[in-house]
Amino acid sequence: MILLETNLKFILPVALLGVVVLFFIYRMYKMRHLLSASTGPETSENTLVLTDANFDKTISKGVTLVDFWAPWCAPCRIQGPIINDLANGMAGKAKIGKLDVDQSKRVAAKLGIRNIPTILIFKNGEIVKQFVGVKPKNILAQELEKYL
């Protein structure tokens, strides 16, 4: 009987810990699966897909807003549709683009992008405003209007 009590005092906490660990492993798997389900930059017809090759030419003239993102970044997936909506609303006024920092490492390194999502506004190739983190459409639109 004493042996059974000792075993229960040991087995129950270990079993409970095992269940908790398995739960967190499952949740991490599900989160990773959801984040990697779509690896492309979901863009609208007015959102530019920027790369190391076309970045400098794109930002050189006019006002350009660039969203630095990555497919595995959850806040970036929140910011993405906001950027697309902004691109549709600002069509013809300003250029709106997205740059995947995993695919275009040269530009991200040159600009010192350390956190994502980072949003930079360029006017004639010069950075005029920087945002880090998810920002609402109205804030981004107000800032763009200042530089048009």
Alpha carbons within 13 angstroms on the beta-carbon side of residue 43 total 16
**Which of 73, 96, 113, 116 is an active site residue?**
73
Task: Say whether 73 is catalytic.
Answer: yes
Angle formed by the axes of helices 74-89 and 2-35, to 10°? 20
76 noted as active-site residue: yes
Q: Which of 70, 76, 120, 140 is catalytic?
A: 76
CA gap 141, 89 in Å, rounded:
9
CA–CA distance, 110 with 124 (Å, rounded to integer):
17
What positions carry a catalytic annotation?
Answer: 73, 76
